[in-house]
Amino acid sequence: IFCSKKLEDQNSTRSRRSLAEKSISGRHFIASIYDAFLRIKNAKGIEVDLSPQAKENNLCWRWFIEEYNNKIMFKPFCMQGAYIFASSIGFVGLTFERKGHLFLPIYNDDGSWSFLSESGNYLNADNKGFVSTVKDQTSSTHFRLSPWEEIACCDCPAEFDIVNGKCGGFYTTV
């Protein structure tokens, strides 16, 4: 009995570990198949788009992904309290409301992720940097996640510039 209990514990630990490895909660860069990164852009109002390069000194390329009831929400690091939302007509933007911001994460065979919005459309990125949602899952609905870390910086001011996304109290590494 002792040996089988020990084997059960080992299998349970392995199972928890493999589930944790597929969990996407945490701090991530989010890249499209076009090697462009999801970001917050402050040009003509705040918008979500893609950029060909994640700049180290700009925090608007960094995302918190939080799980909630088997779904996830994307929270930009540079705009506390905001979430990505997807409208039923394909528009993707930011909201401070808790409506339309949950996505079902789908792990793809190629190691990427797709995200199904509450309206039944997939988060999509085109080769021109435009982010939207589409009805069908295609290669442009596949995203790669790569983690970033936050390290305390003693010489930096305690706040950061939200408009420009410049680092203040922390700096980040990949």
- Concatenating the DSSP letter of every residue in 92-126 gives EEEESSSSS--EEEEE-TTS-EEEEETTS-EEEE-
The domains found in the chain, sorted by start residue, are 24-147 (2.80.10.50)
Residue 91 has what pLDDT? 92
* pLDDT tens track, the chain, 174 positions: 433 444 344 433 333 333 345 679 999 999 999 988 888 876 555 667 777 665 555 678 889 999 998 999 999 988 888 999 999 999 999 888 877 799 999 999 999 999 999 999 999 999 988 999 999 999 999 999 998 875 444 333 334 444 444 444 444 444
Q: Residue 167: which residues within 8 A CB-CB, separation 6 or more?
A: 57, 59, 153, 156, 160
What amino acid is encoded at 32 in this protein?
Answer: S
Tokens matching residue 152: 């305390």
Q: Residue 27: which residues within 8 A CB-CB, separation 6 or more?
A: 62, 63, 64, 65, 77, 147, 148, 149, 150
